[in-house]
Amino acid sequence: MIYTKQEFEKIRKASLFSNLPNIITEQKPLSELKNQEIPDHDKSFVGLKSLSHREFNSTEFWRDIPAFKNVTKDEFLDVKFQNKNTVRNLAKLEEFTKGIVDKSFIEDVRQGIKHAPMNLSISPYLLSLIDWANPYEDPLRIQFIPVQSITKENHPKLMLDSLGEQGDSPVDGLVHRYADKVLFLALDVCPVYCRFCTRSYAVGGDTELVNKMKFNNAPEKWKKAFAYIASRPEIEDVVVSGGDAYMLAPNRLKLIGETLLSIPHIRRIRIATKGPAVMPMKILSDANWSNALIDIVKLGREKGKEVALHTHFNSANEITEITRQAMLHLFKNGVIVRNQSVLIKGVNNTLESMVHLIKKLSYMNVQPYYVYQHDMVEGTEDMRTSVKQTIELEKNVRGITAGFNTPLFVMDAPGGGGKRDVHSCEYYDEVTGISIYRSPSVNEQNIYLYFDPIESLPTLGQKLWEDKTIHDELIKNAIKNSGLSSYTPVLS
Ligand code: SF4
């Protein structure tokens, strides 16, 4: 909604901005502005709804949940409480949701777990933010709790290691795809488990669907990866991930940071964690961990190198006043925080939800860096969107705020092509949902194919995929029509 200046004045005086006149009259240097004539401008004032990203829930919201009604603020804000009460199995979820959800929902989860690539693990913080009156449509439930009733059949081209990371791994727990960058997979556990995890082939414990490969979780085993990085002078950039760096003991986090920073050719380190989105109080209540992070950021600065935290908010519903305080603590201590979201149906695939998320992140000095097209991971078909929708969303998002706070919408090209601008596809057939990307910096000869979820296709496209005998032909035709037949398709 857009207001005239007069209407806006009325609202301003009566609401959120009621303290503005005081600020102007009492505080220098703003008091100098008091008698300025403010010229009229054609640009209308935006509605207050457009400014709602500045509001942060500072209530004791967890007390609305019967299981936490007696939990004090001090307890809830303690990371030990969060870890101890993280729900890791169905029985615990049932106990926690007693009286607030229907039994049929729990039964739905029981069946959903059977076909999920990730185990159940969800923090009290997230549990308290889910709308239990409508869990099916809640963006946090969608990300962390599988239900059978909305499961969609996998697209025939979905796979577990859709990015082909294992094929680019010279040493266990290290992915070297781009010449100057490596991904160091330091551990295989996380504070919560996301249903859509790209690394579901390795992260978390085994499920009924997947027997996972294991990463190197111990410093002794990391030595090989460190030695490889030190032996390759072209590497300047290391992403420390897993799993999730939130789960690294402070001394191990420091050991990784100090070792990598001591390698002369390493210029940039990114510590990857979803932690701030799912358990922000750790930053405020686990001083050993936060200080370890801040120390390596400082050490990096002393050496003229950048150490940044890369986090993973997908929904503004993950953000409260606790988050804001946590991000403020990092900001005041010089930690750069960037965000990488995954585009997920029902979570952030509308313009309103994406803009709200971007603005809220920017307001907390968290830079919205990437929005990823959902990877083609088995068991997540209900969460994917089409390339068409992502391109449309990107068009509408660009221009809503400053460019450096506008995320790049990217496709992590399936089979190991790395990140591509989502709209940079060489070819896209909206009927079959096949898009084709090139990634010359990774491999000049390869082409990489992405497949939209079948449900998002027009009726003709859906019918075509019904016939298994023509799947290869659909792909061959797409390649032929793209004019890229002389390239090698990567279909892992
Ligand atoms: S926190 Fe990251 S690594 Fe862990 S399950 Fe979620 S997406 Fe996967």
Q: For residue range 319-339, list pLDDT tens digits in order.
A: 999 999 999 999 999 999 999
Query: 3-state DSSP call for residue 158?
Result: coil
State if residue 199 touches ligand 1 by the CB under 6 angstroms criterion. yes
- Protein residue closest via CA to atom 7 of ligand 1: 197
Give yes or no for residue 4 having a pLDDT over 70: no
From the list 152, 273, 123, the residue with the least C-alpha distance to 203 is: 273
pLDDT at 397 over 90: yes
Å from CA of 491 to ligand 1 middle:
24
Residues 141-162 pLDDT 10s: 999 999 999 988 889 887 656 6
Residues 66 and 129 in one domain: yes
Residue 16 falls within a domain, yes or no?
yes
Same domain as 112, residue 82: yes
What are the tens digits of pLDDT across the range 75-100? 999 999 999 999 999 999 999 999 99
Distance 46 CA to ligand 1 centre (A): 37
- Residue 361's pLDDT is what? 98
Over its C-alpha atoms, the chain yields an Rg (Å, rounded) of 24
Establish if 199 belongs to a structural domain.
no
Q: Say if residue 78 is in the same domain as residue 32.
A: no
Are residues 31 and 68 both part of a single domain? Answer: no
Residue 396: inside a domain, yes or no? yes
- Cα 481 to Cα 1: distance, rounded to the nearest angstrom: 45
Quote the domain boundaries for residue 46. Answer: 2-54
How many domains does the structure of the chain reveal? 3
| CB of 357 sitting under 6 A from ligand 1 | no
Task: Assess contact for 162 and 317: CB atoms under 8 A.
Answer: no
Is residue 193 in contact with ligand 1, taking CB distance under 6 Å? yes
Residue 256 scores a pLDDT above 90: yes
Probe residue for ligand 1, chosen from 88, 119, 193 as the CB with the greatest number of ligand atoms within 8 Å? 193
47 versus 181: which is more confidently predicted?
Answer: 181
Predicted local distance difference test score (pLDDT) of residue 16:
46
- Examine residue 492 and state whether it is found in any structural domain, yes or no: yes
Same-domain pairing of 391 and 489: yes
Nearest-CA residue for atom 8 of ligand 1: 197
Same domain, 84 and 14: no
Whether residue 223 is contained in a domain is answered as no
Burial 263-302 (b: 16+ CB within 10 A, else e): beebbbbbbbbbbbbbbbbbbbbbeebbebbbbbbebbee
Looking at residue 14, its pLDDT comes to 55
Q: Residue 241: name the closest of 174, 160, 179 by CA.
A: 174
Q: Domain for residue 98, yes or no?
A: yes
190 found inside a domain: no
32 alpha carbon – ligand 1 mean position (Å): 50
Mean pLDDT on 7-29 = 60
Among the candidates 19, 39, 54, a domain finishes at: 54
The residue among 22, 39, 54 that closes a domain is 54
| 244 CA from centroid of ligand 1 (Å) | 7
Sign of the CA dihedral running 298, 300, 303, 306: negative
Judgement on whether residues 102 and 50 belong to the same structural domain of the protein: no
Residue 243 CA to ligand 1 center (angstroms) comes to 6
What is the band of 489 on the pLDDT scale with cuts at 50, 70, 90?
very high
pLDDT at 379 over 90: no
Any atom of ligand 1 within 6 Å of the Cβ of 274: yes
- The pTM score is 0.92
β-strand partners of 184: 174, 240
Asked whether residue 408 falls in the same domain as residue 466, the answer is yes
pLDDT digits (tens, 9 = 90+) for 221-234: 899 999 999 999 99
State the residue for tokens 């004791």.
60
CB of residue 310 inside a 6 A radius of ligand 1: no
Mean pLDDT of the chain: 91
Q: Is 317 exposed, middle or buried (0-12, 13-18, 19+ CB in 10 A)?
A: buried
Structure tokens at 233: 């002078």
Query: In this structure, is residue 212 part of a structural domain?
Result: no
Residue 292's pLDDT is what? 98
- The reply to whether ligand 1 has any atom less than 6 angstroms from the CB of 203 is yes
Residue that finishes a domain, picked among 11, 30, 54: 54
Q: What average pLDDT does the segment 381-395 reach?
A: 96
Ligand 1 neighbourhood includes 113 CB (under 6 angstroms): no
Residue 113 contacts by C-beta under 8 Å, 6 or more apart in sequence? Answer: 90, 120, 146, 207, 208
Rounded-to-integer distance, Cα 49 and Cα 1, Å: 8
Q: 244: Cβ below 6 Å to ligand 1? A: yes
CA separation for the pair 470, 284 (Å, rounded) = 56
